DNA sequence: TTGAAAGCGTTACCAT
DNA sequence: ATGGTAACGCTTTCAA
């Protein structure tokens, strides 16, 4: 980014240096005939000088077009940025198409703005280097659902600032907020099993960040980089095996992102198998809604022919046709809690690093029903 | 915000000063036995020193727990922030419940992150002072739909950085992107008139930021602080008067925010009037959907008893029951264009300030229908 | 390949 | 009430 627009170069004789502001505190001071300190006080400590002088200073500043004390210089000197950095799972723009991320940011900003803190959204997609993280002028970080081995996360760790982790990774010594994914997923799967479903299918988040899309073999399932994926998979599996269903028989369709298009694609893949599942577990509502569309598209009835369970309970879930059975997690509240934890960490640096596990609940709606008798075993 | 956590105070004898970093470039330099400049080069210009030395330096940095060059100092010295400030109509958290704002941010971040720029969301609700704007360490600003007389906008103007205005205010000399609200609104109103509706009602954004909620008298209507409000009102009015409807007879319900709850409230107010409107114009889809709910609630059929037209065409509009007739504007694209304009302004400071007016289109769906014959005149 | 020095624009302490 | 002064931590030119 070129910066020359707000700068001017000093006379040619000048020793080469950084870009120079058009007008600084010094200029005002000189013009008014006071010291730099006094001008600074005019801005930051109005009570330290006479009203008359202050007005004279502010007037001169206006005349010269002085933009006010330079924020970077200010921040350097004071050691405070008045802002908080946020890194999110995917690209920034993706976050704005993901209801779960949006709800999180809603809760987070609600808390932070109450304290006058700005929120710096940092581009941290897997493909980018961590420069933006290293250059972020912030007082602390919020890490939202990032892979364990992510370079941005490492860079944040090195920054050594108060950091709150959401969902993932779990970082000892740092505040954490999330839900218990394994039991939540297990309950979702058990629900299908209890309805008599024996042929299950799963639509999963990526196991690795290698761009794979399709069936996840045992090897991939063994080592998902994201804990959310790992735990939900384990939960589904636990319930299936508890019901005597061999996990090897359960197709796990891995998809790159959590959106309806990917869900649709995965749904088609699952439902056109030779022996298609009658119960499908999706790791997010976005994916689940896509699966329902896929069933529709294939002329299958939900829940008549196939039951679908989501995860998150985004606002659209309840309004869908049929309304989606899903695992509800407190999306906005997670953001609020993350905000609270960070504020706490900023105010009391030395204090304990709390872990807050929020409750989930299986919400039964219209997208699941008893398996046909013929489909049971 | 307390900053002491990442700092230590030097020996007691130290002259009082700003908070001090635990370890700086200097410490590394001393430990390795080189100059500060060389350590700096190790980070910023790897080609300027031998690999061996570089490794020694980076190793020492790791040993000392050096967090890397301080971003604020860096930014001060280089004169670049690598970030862009954004201020939005309302509170930050509100933005995350407004589909139009979300779509805008989606488009904006898509463009900005491609250039490695971070996005600083600045709390700028009408009640806050402009401190967050003054302290924002950014290379430029995006102003999204703010009142003309807003103090944050004034503060941004004083900062004298490249700034793109979206919707409002229109600032001569600065890039602008928006739509032509007056003709768009006029078309929406004409649609109702063409369907035979003679008793109209309007659900409006706030005319002033004084917290008023309810019928807007002529005086209020005469001077809305926001151009969007002014222009849409003027458009509605033009179509009504062109059809011989006296504007004084058209109730304008002013509401504080653009959400379904406010729309519901306004819908109830309009539809329980002695001579209720048969055609309602809402300034946003969120409001319009609330109006439909209100009609439902009162046992009125949409569009049988009352027709409703929205504005924006948010994703939910097409999926609603009934699907909403509305004025479509390119929400995401607006964000992209804003991003492009700002990037351009950052790269070529002196250049022209383009104004981009994006197209709108009235989308006819199920929420509008012919007025009953008995209701016409 | 390395180092010395000159800033970047502020703020906060201390003295007057 | 006001000013002198010493940092804050870094980057860059220029010379060696």
Mean pLDDT, residues B185-204 taken together: 97
Tell me, yes or no, if the two domains B3-69 and B81-178+331-356 fold the same way: no
Q: Can you give the distance from the CA of residue A3 to the C1' of nucleotide C15 in angstroms?
A: 40
User: DSSP 3-state assignment of B221?
Assistant: helix
- Provide the pLDDT for residue B26: 87
CATH of domain B181-330+361-375: 3.40.50.2300
Query: Which ranges of chain A does DSSP label H, i.e. alpha helix?
Result: 25-32, 36-44, 51-64, 71-78, 92-95, 99-113, 131-134, 151-159, 181-194, 218-222, 227-242, 260-271, 285-297, 315-319, 331-347
A82 Cα to chain B: minimum distance (Å): 7
The CA angle A366-A372-A375, to the nearest 5 degrees, is: 125
Residue nearest the C1' of C4 (CA based): B35
pLDDT in tens, A65-88: 999 999 999 999 999 999 999 999
pLDDT in tens, A161-182: 999 999 999 988 999 999 999 9
Mean pLDDT, residues B26-30 taken together: 89
Domain ranges of chain A: 3-69, 81-178+331-356, 181-330+361-375
Nearest to B75 among A65, A72, A113 (CB): A72
- Provide the pLDDT for residue B147: 87
Q: Does B347 touch chain A (CB under 8 A)?
A: yes
Give the contacts of A266 (CB within 8 A, at least 6 positions apart).
A203, A253, A255, A282, A287, A290, A291, A294
- Chain C nucleotides reached by a protein CB under 7 Å: 1-14
Q: Does B4 touch chain A (CB under 8 A)?
A: yes
B37 beta carbon < 7 A from strand D? yes
| Residue A18 pLDDT level (bands cut at 50, 70, 90) | low
B160 Cα to chain A: minimum distance (Å): 7
Please report how many Cα atoms fall inside a 13 Å half-sphere around the Cα of residue B273, on the Cβ side: 22
B373 beta carbon < 7 A from strand C? no
pLDDT in tens, B83-131: 999 999 889 999 999 999 999 999 999 999 999 999 999 999 988 999 9
| Residue A50 pLDDT level (bands cut at 50, 70, 90) | confident
Question: What is B3-69's CATH topology?
Answer: 434 Repressor (Amino-terminal Domain) (1.10.260)
- Checking if the pLDDT of A6 tops 70, the result is no
CATH 3.40.50.2300 fits B81-178+331-356, yes or no: yes
Query: Which ranges of chain B does DSSP label H, i.e. alpha helix?
Result: 25-32, 36-44, 51-64, 71-78, 92-95, 99-113, 131-134, 151-159, 181-194, 218-222, 227-242, 260-271, 285-297, 315-319, 331-347
pTM: 0.91
Taking the stretch 6-35 of protein chain B, residues with Cβ within 7 Å of any atom in nucleic acid chain D are 7, 10, 14-15, 17-21, 24-26
Mean pLDDT, residues A44-60 taken together: 88
pLDDT in tens, B223-236: 898 889 999 999 99
B318 Cα to chain A: minimum distance (Å): 13
What radius of gyration, in Å, describes the C-alpha atoms of chain B?
Answer: 27
Q: How much is the mean pLDDT over chain A?
A: 91
Asked if the Cβ–Cβ distance from B119 to A121 is below 8 Å, we say yes
- Provide the pLDDT for residue A14: 36
- Return the bridge partners of A350, or none: none
A274 beta carbon < 7 A from strand D? no
User: DSSP 3-state assignment of A256?
Assistant: coil
- Provide the pLDDT for residue B12: 32
- Provide the pLDDT for residue A17: 53
% of chain A surpassing 70 pLDDT: 94
Asked if the Cβ–Cβ distance from B79 to A158 is below 8 Å, we say no
Taking the stretch 48-107 of protein chain B, residues with Cβ within 7 Å of any atom in nucleic acid chain D are 68-70, 73-74, 76-78
């Amino acid at each position: 980014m070129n910066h020359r627009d707000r700068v001017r170069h000093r006379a040619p004789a000048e020793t080469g240096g950084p870009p120079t502001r058009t007008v600084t505190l010094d200029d005002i001071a000189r013009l008014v005939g006071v010291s730099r300190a006094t001008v600074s006080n005019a801005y930051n400590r109005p009570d330290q000088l006479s009203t008359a002088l202050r007005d004279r200073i502010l007037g001169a500043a206006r005349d010269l077009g002085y933009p006010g004390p330079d924020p970077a210089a200010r921040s350097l000197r004071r050691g405070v940025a008045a802002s908080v950095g946020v890194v999110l799972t995917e690209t920034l723009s993706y976050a704005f198409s993901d209801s779960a991320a949006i709800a999180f940011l809603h809760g987070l900003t609600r808390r932070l703005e109450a304290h006058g803190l700005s929120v710096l959204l940092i581009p941290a997609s897997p493909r980018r280097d961590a420069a933006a993280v290293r250059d972020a002028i912030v007082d602390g970080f919020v890490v939202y659902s990032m892979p364990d081995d992510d370079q941005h996360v490492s860079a944040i760790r090195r920054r050594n600032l108060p950091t709150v982790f959401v969902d993932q990774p779990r970082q000892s010594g740092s505040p954490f907020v999330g839900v218990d994914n394994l039991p939540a997923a297990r309950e979702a799967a058990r629900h299908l099993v209890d309805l008599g479903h024996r042929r299950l299918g799963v639509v999963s988040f990526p196991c690795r960040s290698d761009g794979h899309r399709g069936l996840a073999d045992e090897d991939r399932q063994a080592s998902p980089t994201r804990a959310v994926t790992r735990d939900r998979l384990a939960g589904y599996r636990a319930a299936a095996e508890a019901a005597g269903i061999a996990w090897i028989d359960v197709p796990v369709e891995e998809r790159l992102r959590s959106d309806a298009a990917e869900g649709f694609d995965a749904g088609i893949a699952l439902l056109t198998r030779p022996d298609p599942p009658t119960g499908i577990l999706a790791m997010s509502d976005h994916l689940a809604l896509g699966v329902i569309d896929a069933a529709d598209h294939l002329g299958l009835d939900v829940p008549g022919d196939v039951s679908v369970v989501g995860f998150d309970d985004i606002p659209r879930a309840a309004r869908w046709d049929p309304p989606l059975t899903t695992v509800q997690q407190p999306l906005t509240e997670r953001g609020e809690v993350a905000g609270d934890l960070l504020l706490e960490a900023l105010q009391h640096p030395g204090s304990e690093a709390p872990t807050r596990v929020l409750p989930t609940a299986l919400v039964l709606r219209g997208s699941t029903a008893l398996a046909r008798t013929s489909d049971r075993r």
